Amino acid sequence: MARTVDDPSPKRAAIQAAVLQATEDLLAEGASFPDLGIERIATRAGISRTAFYFYFKDKRELLARLTEDLSDELYRQADIWFSGGEDPHQEMHAALTARMSRSPWNFSAAVR
C-alpha cells in the first residue's frame, strides 16, 4: 500500500520537521515570512532548494503546516485545560509559555 501525505515515511516526516523547525527558527530570529526565500529555509534545514519541493508544494503549504502544527498543539493543551486539572488558568499559561519558549515566533512574525 502506498503512503499518503497523511502517512509519511519516517524519513519524509523527519525532513518535513527539519524544514518546519528551520522556518520557525528563522522567524524567531526576526525574519518575516514573505521575505524568507526557499533557498534560505532549505539551507537551514540541511536540504537543497529542489528537495524542498519534494516535501512541500510551495511556501503557502509550508505556512499552512506551521499554523496547523501550532493550532494542533494549542488544541491539545486546551484539552488538558478543559479536563479539569489543578488550576486551569495556570495550566494554560504554563502550556503557552512552554510552547512559545520552544518556538517564540508568532503569527505577527509570519505577516511582518
Query: 34, exposed or middle or buried, with CB in 10 Å at 0-12, 13-18, 19+?
Result: exposed
Predicted pLDDT of residue 112: 43
The CATH number of domain 10-111, selected from 3.20.20.450, 3.10.310.30, 1.10.357.10, 2.40.50.100: 1.10.357.10
* pLDDT: which is higher, 87 or 54: 54
For residue 102, pLDDT over 70 is answered with no
3 state DSSP class of 21: helix
All structural domains of the chain with their residue ranges: 10-111
Taking residues 102-112, report their average pLDDT: 49
pTM, full prediction: 0.68
For residue 89, pLDDT over 80 is answered with no
